[in-house]
Amino acid sequence: MTETNLESLKIEAKKEIENSFDLGQIGEVFRKYLGKQGEIARILRSLDSLPKEKRAEIGKQANDFKNFINLKIEEKIKELKEKSGKGSGGKEWIDITAPGKKPSVGHLHPLTLIRRKTEEIFQTMGFSTIEGPEIESVWYNFDALNIPKDHPARDAWDTFYLKDGMLLRAHTSPVQIRFMEKNNPPFRIIVPGRIFRHEATDPSHEFDFYQLEGLMVGEDISAANFKAVIQEFYRRFFGKPVKIRLIPSFFPFTEPSFQVDMSCVNCSGKGCPACKRTGWLEMMGAGMVHPNVFKYAGLNPKGLTGFAFGMGLDRLAMMKYKINNIRLFHSGDLRFLQQF
Amino acid sequence: MKFSYNWLQSFFNKKLPVPEKLAELIIGHAFEVEEIKKIGKDYVLDIGVLANRGSDCFSHIGMAREIAVILNYKFQVPVFKLTENKKINVKSLIKVVVENKGGCPRYTARVISDVKIGDSPKWIKENLEACGLRPINNVVDITNYVMLETGQPLHAFDQEKIEGKKIIVRFAEAGEKITTLDEEIYKLNEDVLIIADIKKPIAVAGVKGGKSPEIDEKTKTIVLESANFNPQNVRKSSKIINLKTDASWRFEHGLDQNLAEFAINRAAYLVQEIAKGKVAKGLIDVSAKKSLKKIIRLDLNYVDRLLGVKIPQKQAIDILKRLEFKIKAVKKTVKIIDVEVPAFRLDVLLPEDLIEEIGRIYGYENIPSVFPIAALIPPKRNLDVFWENLSKDILKETGFTEVSNYSFVSRKDAETLKFKDKDLIEIENPMSLEYQYLRPSLIPNLLKNIESNQSNFSDINIYELGKVFKPDKKEKEKRMLSAVIFSQKEKNDLFYQMKGTAEVLLNKLGISNIWNDGYQPTPEDSKSIIWQRGKTAEIKVGNEEIGFLGEISDKVTESFKIKGKVVLFDIDFEKLSKVASEEHEYRPISRFPAAIRDIAVLIPRETRVVEVMNKIETEGGELIRDVDLFDIYEGEELPEGKKNLAFHIIFQSDNKTLSSREVDELQEKIIKVLEKEPQWQVRKQ
């Protein structure tokens, strides 16, 4: 037995293994080379007649050969099994179309999700989140916001009053005053929170709902700045470019005042039932902070400008998730809540 | 307010854009247009005049003026020539006394004799109907027509029916009554400003006319009233008698005093033309004083700064002029102008008001979007919000769904849970009895959630994080976190599920020194009705009680019609967020293997698990890594009144491998200690 013999045997065996199509053929190759009557056994048996040094050398080569074949066969078997796609002989097959077992998880309220999203977007633009009390005084809810006593303007906020003369805040704007009393400009804040309006309910009106207030004050904050910030907010919130327009409005605490309309996200402004065929959706009230508001909050209005805005979070959630009835939010109906 | 398109067109020589186009322009530069409706040959535009523009734009002339400015058209106020009859003097026919000048800064009157009451001509009727008013007779229709045209409410009395031929503007006396034109009787008081003759009230000033001097088909001589009443007085009267009218609505918004005179002459002229009357010589005009001219100094640089766009000086001035503002002085070098405000613009007081005028006519669509330039001040972290978000996430992960309930409860719910008046804040003007009080607790509405969901779900895990209210000077409102588990199936581990949830929540909030104390309610406490006796615990962190955990009493679940067991925790979130912490320290994992031994102890039923665990831990000392209760068993095979507890005890050292002899010795020590208790029995395994 010579080295060349073992070498050519190795090449031959390798070829045979590679050409095998199934486990049966592989078995045959195994038996041919490594079986009790196989080539290796034959070689090893023939060693007895050789000198001691030669015996050791050939013995080692035969062992290497054995390892080599074993490895090649193992690889081939793995390859064949993978090809068949059923693991070992199909015994471990599972029906991957059967439904998965879901771990029991809870759900966040859709308004919590919307609130987080708005907070996150404004935070990236440098706005801090501030909160305020839900029971308010007439001063913070009306007077300090320049909403005159005994004027029809006050009727725009249908308010719940408490027996002790306090009230439930009808908007988040009182927090503007509370914040400005304690902080000097420049600043950027948003104020999310519950508000209350004594209004008849219907699919688009609630009496206990959520608002998000915004306020940015500095030395040269302009309406153009407001446009940019709010457009960026809506673009990020809806995940696509949107158009906004400002139309004249009136709020006693801003001058000039705007109503902000956004191009309808349903029809991209072409006109559909959601936007009453106008192509626009009314999104929020806003404006440049009225100098009297700065005064009432104890700031000197000279040289100070800023914008403020307030939007309904329920309305945003309704648009985002295509919810057609605002009263679902407080319904506690799990068939609704577990969809979020 | 409803506007007639044809009427608006009548002020212009040039053709107005089609209604839809016109509406678009009005929306862009002035007011929301809610609706456009075709009526016959006319279109009606329902325009949402803003509350600060009531003084000039609740009128067709005012709206035409706006349109003229927006389109840059010329518009013409109607020109008319009133002819007075020299032979009749107004002063001989009526006297006017204004007792309260504050309530009535201006009162004008005219008398017209020999009028023929009849139907109005078609054009007046059509215009009134387009604007939603019902034609009555020519004189009354003219007063309404002129109101819609000019914005000034007017009233006509039958002169012969005015007792003493004297009109007195005064406050009503307590107990006085008036029957109005629509035959309603109103009780008046000292806060209601009225028009009276020498005997009785004949109108509620600025609100509604009285029945007694009504114009009818026999009326020959009329007194026209065109007055300026104090907005606050009219608002008050309207509230007291609970009546809102087209007139009160206009007066409440405030009116220009000059308008009274223009409108009465216009109305007298139309009566003369249409009802063929003779206008008596002279205008009765009782006025306090003329309003002063308002001049505002405006820095045009400030206009650009506030709007964020450069508007050419010429254009800004042109806009103001078109709006009938007068430019008094223009300083060449600096861009500062003095602007005189027209009398009808009661809303314009400050430079910012002028900037709004310039901005809206210039067009807000022409303002670019420009990001502000600001110092890079990172937003402040709001810890209240942070802990709220974290808690909500933890509860979500443990399988709880968040609800958001109304902040209100009914008297019935409050009473069911034994909340007393002293615990409750009542709403002065509630939506309905269902929402009469601010919620003193999150529990009632959570129980209602269970009730309404139980037909669809046999197991419910929900929570709410929200404010509760109580009439407390220091802490009127505070946040609570309440979670509830409900099951219709027979389960006896609901309490422990809830307890486990509370522990996970608190641990994840970085709170470790949590323990439970038995809860002994005082009978008068509302809590005593809510919680089931013997199945309720206080949740404590250190020495402070932060909430309660327990089963809701059968009595309460029954009254909320809940068919199943309810276990709840109710945690004071203000206290919780104070003790919550983000500090967290890793505990090194021992390199040495742990050994586990099991132990079972038979103890009396009422003995607490924690007593057994404490003994094991104390005796085992620091070589005990953990004691884990894996079974509590009470059953028939056990002696009466006993329960069996089974623990895994995990022994581990930080600095060596414990030999089994060492572990067995420790285990023996523990068993001995446990068996010292006469009623306890260790069942060796």
H/E segment holding residue B485: strand B477-487
Task: Please determine, for residue A330, whether its predicted confidence score (pLDDT) is greater than 90.
Answer: yes
Lowest-pLDDT range of B194-203, B463-472, B634-643: B634-643
Q: Which residue of A has its CA nearest to B380?
A: A128
What pLDDT score was predicted for residue A104?
86
Residues across chain B: 685
Q: Is A159 helix (H, G, I), strand (E, B) or coil?
A: coil
Span B646-662, pLDDT tens digits? 999 999 998 899 999 99
Q: Are residues A7 and A144 in the same domain?
A: no
Residue B396 is nearest to which of A106, A231, A257, comparing CB atoms? A106
Residues B97-109, mean pLDDT to the nearest whole number:
94
What pLDDT score was predicted for residue B54?
92
What pLDDT score was predicted for residue A216?
97
Interface contact flag, B370 A224, Cβ < 8 Å:
yes
Residues 6+ apart with CB under 8 A from B586: none
Hey, is the C-beta of B380 within 8 angstroms of any chain A C-beta? yes
Residues B418-440, mean pLDDT to the nearest whole number:
93
Hey, is the C-beta of A202 within 8 angstroms of any chain B C-beta? no
Q: Are residues A133 and A223 in the same domain?
A: yes
Establish if A100 belongs to a structural domain: no
Task: Select the highest-mean-pLDDT range: A93-107, A237-251, B321-335.
Answer: A237-251
Hey, is the C-beta of B473 within 8 angstroms of any chain A C-beta? no
Q: Are residues A13 and A136 in the same domain?
A: no
Q: Are residues A201 and A330 in the same domain?
A: yes
Establish if A165 belongs to a structural domain: yes
Residues A294-315, mean pLDDT to the nearest whole number:
96
Hey, is the C-beta of A288 within 8 angstroms of any chain B C-beta? yes
Burial of residue B24 (number of CB atoms within 10 Å: 0-12, 13-18, 19+): middle
- Residues in chain A within 8 Å Cβ distance of B467: 134, 194
What spatial distance separates the first Cα and last Cα of chain A, rounded to whole Å? 77
What pLDDT score was predicted for residue B305?
95
Burial of residue B113 (number of CB atoms within 10 Å: 0-12, 13-18, 19+): middle
CA distance A324 to A212: 20
ipTM of the complex: 0.89
Q: Which CATH architecture has domain B294-362?
A: 2-Layer Sandwich (3.30)
Give percent of chain A above pLDDT 90. 57
What pLDDT score was predicted for residue A267?
84
How far B15 CA lies from chain A's nearest CA (Å)?
25
Residues B503-527, mean pLDDT to the nearest whole number:
82
Of A303, A232, A223, the residue nearest A256 (C-alpha): A223
What pLDDT score was predicted for residue B272?
94
Instruction: Output the average pLDDT for chain B.
Output: 92
How far A98 CA lies from chain B's nearest CA (Å)?
24
Q: Are residues A117 and A204 in the same domain?
A: yes
Q: Is B616 helix (H, G, I), strand (E, B) or coil?
A: helix
All structural domains of chain B with their residue ranges: 2-71, 84-287, 294-362, 383-579, 595-683
Choosing among A102, A111, A112, which should be mutated to test the B contact, i.e. which has the most B CBs within 10 A?
A112
Q: Are residues A123 and A248 in the same domain?
A: yes
Tokens of A242: 């949107």
B residues 311-350 closer than 8 Å to A (CB): 350
Residues A140-157, mean pLDDT to the nearest whole number:
89
Residues 6+ apart with CB under 8 A from B589: none
Choosing among A231, A236, A250, which should be mutated to test the B contact, i.e. which has the most B CBs within 10 A?
A250
Interface contact flag, B408 A248, Cβ < 8 Å:
no
Residue B52 is nearest to which of A105, A198, A250, comparing CB atoms? A250
The range of the structural domain enclosing residue A35 comes to 3-84
Choosing among B32, B229, B364, B456, which should be mutated to test the A contact, i.e. which has the most A CBs within 10 A?
B364
CA distance B64 to A261: 25
- Residues in chain B within 8 Å Cβ distance of A333: 452-453
Task: Please determine, for residue A63, whether its predicted confidence score (pLDDT) is greater than 70.
Answer: yes
* Higher local confidence (pLDDT), B291 or B473: B473
Q: Which residue of B has its CA nearest to A156?
A: B51
Could you please state the CATH topology (level 3) that the domain comprising B84-287 is classified under.
Answer: Phenylalanyl-tRNA Synthetase; Chain B, domain 3 (3.50.40)
CATH number at residue A223: 3.30.930.10
Hey, is the C-beta of A303 within 8 angstroms of any chain B C-beta? no
Q: Are residues A166 and A64 in the same domain?
A: no
Residues A54-61, mean pLDDT to the nearest whole number:
81
* Higher local confidence (pLDDT), B583 or B400: B400
Angle between helices A23-34 and A39-46 (to 10 degrees): 10
CA distance A189 to A128: 5
- What total number of domains does chain A contain? 2
Task: Please determine, for residue A203, whether its predicted confidence score (pLDDT) is greater than 70.
Answer: yes
A residues 31-60 closer than 8 Å to B (CB): none
Hey, is the C-beta of A249 within 8 angstroms of any chain B C-beta? yes
* Higher local confidence (pLDDT), B449 or A43: B449
Q: Which CATH architecture has domain B2-71?
A: 2-Layer Sandwich (3.30)
The number of angstroms, rounded, from the C-alpha of A201 to the middle of its chain's C-alpha atoms is: 32
Instruction: Kindly state the DSSP code that residue B147 receives in the 8-state scheme.
Output: H
A residues 306-325 closer than 8 Å to B (CB): none
Residues B478-482, mean pLDDT to the nearest whole number:
97
Q: Are residues A57 and A165 in the same domain?
A: no
Residues B167-194, mean pLDDT to the nearest whole number:
94
Of A55, A53, A54, A35, the residue nearest A44 (C-alpha): A55
Q: Using an 8 Å Cβ cutoff, are B202 and B210 in contact? A: yes
A residues 175-194 closer than 8 Å to B (CB): 186-188, 194
Q: Which residue of B has its CA nearest to A150?
A: B232
Residues B668-678, mean pLDDT to the nearest whole number:
90
Tokens 């508007």 map to which residue? Answer: B311
Please determine whether the domains at B2-71 and B294-362 fall in the same fold group of CATH.
yes
What pLDDT score was predicted for residue A5?
75
Interface contact flag, B306 A105, Cβ < 8 Å:
no
What pLDDT score was predicted for residue B435?
95
Interface contact flag, A223 B374, Cβ < 8 Å:
no
Residue B301 — pLDDT band, cuts 50, 70, 90?
A: very high
Establish if A105 belongs to a structural domain: no
Establish if A264 belongs to a structural domain: yes
Q: Which CATH architecture has domain B383-579?
A: 2-Layer Sandwich (3.30)
Using the CB atoms, write b or e for B344-367: b if 16+ within 10 Å. Answer: bbbbbeebbbbbbbbbbbbebeeb
Query: Which of these CATH numbers, 3.50.50.60, 3.30.70.380, 3.40.50.1000, 3.20.20.30, describes B595-683?
Result: 3.30.70.380
What is this structure's pTM? 0.85
Q: Are residues A320 and A227 in the same domain?
A: yes
Span A122-136, pLDDT tens digits? 999 999 999 999 999
The number of angstroms, rounded, from the C-alpha of B365 to the middle of its chain's C-alpha atoms is: 30
B residues 477-506 closer than 8 Å to A (CB): 477
Q: Which residue of A has its CA nearest to B448?
A: A332
CA distance A13 to B1: 99
What pLDDT score was predicted for residue A337?
97
What pLDDT score was predicted for residue B274?
94
Q: Are residues A176 and A210 in the same domain?
A: yes
Task: Please determine, for residue A88, whether its predicted confidence score (pLDDT) is greater than 60.
Answer: no
Of B40, B13, B43, the residue nearest B26 (C-alpha): B43
How far A329 CA lies from chain B's nearest CA (Å)?
7
Task: Please determine, for residue B237, whether its predicted confidence score (pLDDT) is greater than 60.
Answer: yes
Residues B103-113, mean pLDDT to the nearest whole number:
95
Residues B162-181, mean pLDDT to the nearest whole number:
94
Last residue of a domain, one of A84, A101, A130: A84
CA distance B175 to B188: 6
Peptide bond into A256 cis (omega under 30): yes
Q: Are residues A75 and A115 in the same domain?
A: no
Residues A310-331, mean pLDDT to the nearest whole number:
94
What pLDDT score was predicted for residue A181?
96
How far B504 CA lies from chain A's nearest CA (Å)?
15
Residue A135 is nearest to which of B398, B452, B476, comparing CB atoms? B476
Hey, is the C-beta of A138 within 8 angstroms of any chain B C-beta? no
Q: Are residues A185 and A318 in the same domain?
A: yes
The number of angstroms, rounded, from the C-alpha of B200 to the middle of its chain's C-alpha atoms is: 42
Residue A305 is nearest to which of B232, B306, B435, comparing CB atoms? B306
What pLDDT score was predicted for residue B291?
72
* Higher local confidence (pLDDT), B330 or B94: B94
Task: Please determine, for residue A89, whether its predicted confidence score (pLDDT) is greater than 70.
Answer: no
Residues 6+ apart with CB under 8 A from B610: none
Q: Which residue of B has its CA nearest to A233?
A: B371
Task: Please determine, for residue B88, whether its predicted confidence score (pLDDT) is greater than 80.
Answer: yes
What pLDDT score was predicted for residue B684?
63
- Residues in chain B within 8 Å Cβ distance of A113: none
Tokens 């059967």 map to which residue? Answer: A98
Span B13-42, pLDDT tens digits? 999 999 999 999 999 999 999 999 999 899
A residues 55-74 closer than 8 Å to B (CB): none
Lowest-pLDDT range of A90-104, A214-228, B29-43, B227-241: A90-104
What pLDDT score was predicted for residue A85?
60
